[in-house]
Copies of this chain bind each other. A is one copy, B any other.
């Protein structure tokens, strides 16, 4: 295929991770260095920035400062949660995108995000093809949820998993320090897939993890949960539980919603609870056991704790962005870069391959049923074998005054 000359644009979408900027940096750096790419733009807040013609000129950034993107959490270009309508329903956004593409001679479109972002890529790609505008479209995955189909794992997952396992180990030491009883409930992100919560099992593999792990892949039964905790507590005087925010009963009702009902009944609060699953379960356990119970919600920290990122994750995320540019320049379009796991000399190796966008966009990958233990309240060795290689290696995040040195971009807007 002949070389396609023109500008490139990259955008970031969806919830941030510790390493989404590593992917963006892999993409931007590789694009800046490629002779076929005439200019590199960054979308201000994802596709919304493209629609608003708010594009940052990445060529204007200082290369040393730009390199800090590799270890800076969250989305340095800004993110959005904007979903493009089907072109068959409303063409307006696509017409606008084509207009902006033509204005800046954009021939390379890179979009860095989760399922919805791959859907955006797919739609943009199809529209440009249908309208005869030559443009190479590549998706670069990211999600701490690790629920994208096809790819062995997702950029961002391993860093969150490393933070969760590390924090669980630290909580393990803290929560058993007294000679008095203590139950600790740790709430972890993951609405439909339990990959993040399951990563608490990496702490168990070190003998310093939770006693029980509950993921949304299995129905959650409150009475039997309470009985199990009670039994462990009676035996050890301590019990640590890791629960996914998305655990639900056999009727599909989120356990976190039980708490809303309760507070409605109790004091007439009408507003939605703000991730109160841990406190809800803590209260239920307190009532049932009489023990001292503490609920902990890892909250935003699990997706932005770049200081505890996985070195493997950072490198793979960077390479995902780099590969997207290289493949696009080679002529590939309408694909997502993904990871394939290989073993060389008994060691984990990551290979970068291409996946169909429409498959990725419309599937959600859950934990295989046979990676849970028999009682569905913990993970077995298959999960540990899967996840452990991903969290290896430390970040080389630069420090200044004992604190992280994160990127500060100039963000020069394109005229």
Binding site for B on A (CB under 8 A): 15-16, 44-45, 48, 72-75, 78-81, 162, 165-167, 169-171, 173-180, 184, 202-203, 205-208, 262, 269, 271, 273-276, 279, 282-283, 286-287, 293-297, 299-301, 303-308, 310, 312, 388, 391-394, 399-404, 406, 408
Besides A279-B279, A294-B299, 16 other A-B contacts (C-beta < 8 A): A16-B173, A74-B170, A78-B179, A165-B403, A166-B404, A170-B300, A170-B404, A171-B301, A173-B304, A174-B300, A202-B403, A271-B286, A274-B294, A296-B297, A296-B300, A392-B401
Contact A177/B74 with A170-B301, A300-B296 known, Cβ cut-off 8 Å: yes
Whether A296 lies near B287 (C-beta < 8 A) is no
Each complex incorporates copies of this chain amounting to: 2
How far, in angstroms, from A184 to B170 measured CA to CA in the complex?
25
Contact A178/B401 with A296-B300, A406-B208 known, Cβ cut-off 8 Å: no
Interface hub of A167, A178, A203 (most chain B Cβ within 10 A): A178
**What 5 A-B pairs are tightest by C-beta distance, nearest first?**
A74-B173, A174-B304, A45-B179, A391-B402, A170-B304
Chain B nearest Cβ from A21, distance in angstroms: 9
> Inside 8 A of A310's CB, which chain B residues have their CB?
402
Chain B nearest Cβ from A405, distance in angstroms: 9
Whether B300 lies near A283 (C-beta < 8 A) is no
Whether A171 lies near B271 (C-beta < 8 A) is no
How far, in angstroms, from A400 to B206 measured CA to CA in the complex?
9
> Inside 8 A of A274's CB, which chain B residues have their CB?
279, 282-283, 286, 293-295
